[in-house]
Amino acid sequence: MSTGSRPPRPRALFVAALLLLTLVLAGVLALQAHRTFLDHRATAERVLRDNARLAAARFAQRVGMELYYSTFWPTVEALSHAKAGAPGTPLPSPTKLAVGLDSAAAHFLKRARYSFRFDLATRRLETAGGAPAPQGDSPANGGPGSGPQPQPQPQPTPPSGGGAAPFPSSSHPCGVTSTAPAWQHVVWIVMENKAASQVMGSSGAPYLNGLAGACGAATSFFAESHPSLPNYIAMTSGSTQGITDDAAPSSHQLGVPSIFSQLGGDWRALQESMPANCAKANSGSYAVRHNPAAYYTNIASACAMQDVPLGATPDISARFTFITPNLCSDMHDCSVSQGDGWLAGWVPRILDSPEYRSGTTAVFITFDEDDHSANNHIATVVVAPSTPAGTVDATRYDHYSLLRTTEEMLGLMPLGSAMSAPSMRGGMHL
């Protein structure tokens, strides 16, 4: 009988093969996990890069807008008012350029030392005014002080009898300051379906007429279209977006820029009688066609949070607040006097709010359209601390002007037709 080693048993071979297979699978899984890790890392890095690019682009856009509104825009606006482009016309001095401008442009030009004009054909350079004096070169510092000195900033108008300037409030809403502030809040209240002649001068609207007399009235303000919805979309996006009816948001899903999307999370819509946040269907005296935020699909998540029923105390803490009365309160289904009574009850609450009393809030009361009787001529009243009492501005404006004015006040780029619409800031001292 042989005493040599016996051949491996089949069970040992099976175990060895199983161990080998396990090692191979472990290696494959480890390799797959490594590849997955690399893929996830690459995805994360790509997302971070994209977010960094987006943040940089947003920052650059914001800086560009600030530069535009602080330097380029006032200068171009000033030159357009000066009408000094014709050859041979004497070049005006910087102080004369400021005539007729709004307060922002005029404030900028008060710091200007000289103006210039360059003829591209002849390469001739003309200047007017004096070159800026070196820092500290003033009579007070012993210097020659040959250049014009900076003008002092206008101060708020004190109340009669002297003393500190009053806070703006419902009892004294306008003419409180002689210069426009850096606006923090803008509020719109949109009424319904009345021509200017049915409201302004009407005995049925004593509150709105009194407010216009105490503040400002735009006497040549026009809506864009009929029926309601195209006007609401126009005033918030710069275009009617081709809408010609009052259909619900399900028929008009708008993925276009609007003042709401421009402001991100810093807007609010207050809708009287709306049954739930951002309701997209009519309910009782709530009409969705009067709630433009509900139509923009690119702000759907924000709408669900920021488009809310009007409460007992209106919250105007956002930079932009859009207020819609219900179908009776807005004069659509009820009389002018009932709508005026609603304004008399709600507007003082806004004017006595901390935001308005801070002096950095402006309120616009307008209408969506007329009743087809007056070529869409509608009433618009402007309430702001810097608007002198009794201001009457006969410039032809429309809802695009309202949008442009608001966007300028909040440091936003004008959308669509608002870009070419006349601004109300100069006429209303905003």
Q: What is the CATH number of the domain that holds 232?
A: 3.40.720.10
**Is there a domain that residue 154 lies in?**
no
Going from the C-alpha of 189 to that of each of 32, 232, 267, 352, 402, the distances in angstroms are: 61, 12, 14, 16, 12
CB atoms within 10 A of CB 163: 8
| pLDDT of amino acid 125 | 65
- Grouping H, G, I as helix, E, B as strand and the rest as coil, residue 366 is strand
Mean pLDDT lowest for which of 46-50, 64-68, 76-80?
A: 76-80
Instruction: Evaluate whether residue 215 is within a structural domain.
Output: yes
Query: What is the arithmetic mean of pLDDT over 225-243?
Result: 97
Q: What is the mean pLDDT of residues 107-133?
A: 56
pLDDT at 91 exceeding the cut of 50: yes
In a shared domain, residues 123 and 191: no
pLDDT, averaged across the chain:
82
At residue 206 the predicted structure's pLDDT band, cuts being 50, 70 and 90, is very high
Instruction: Give the residue numbers spanning the domain of 54.
Output: 13-132
Which among 232, 160, 284, 249 has a CA at the least distance from the CA of 399?
232
Q: If you ran DSSP here, which 8-state letter would residue 71 be given?
A: I
Mean pLDDT (whole number) for 208-231: 96
118 pLDDT band (50/70/90 cuts)? Answer: low
Let me know whether 190 and 117 are in one domain: no
pLDDT in tens, 364-413: 999 999 999 889 999 999 999 999 999 999 999 999 999 999 999 999 99
| Residue of 194 and 144 predicted with greater confidence | 194
* pLDDT tier at 214, thresholds 50, 70, 90: very high
Q: Domain for residue 35, yes or no?
A: yes
**Rounded CA gap, 282 and 284, in Å?**
7
Cβ 339 vs Cβ 191: under 8 Å = yes
Counting the structural domains of the chain, the total is 2
Token match 């006007």: residue? 231
Q: Helix-strand-coil percent breakdown of the chain, rounded to 5?
A: 40, 15, 45
What pTM was computed for the model?
0.65
Please compute the mean of the pLDDT values over residues 25-50 and round it to a whole number: 84
What was the pLDDT predicted at 274?
98
Q: Residue 42 falls within a domain, yes or no?
A: yes
Within-domain flag for 45 = yes
Q: Are residues 264 and 327 in the same domain?
A: yes
Q: Would you say residue 7 lies in a domain? A: no
Kindly state the average pLDDT of the residues 216-231. Answer: 96
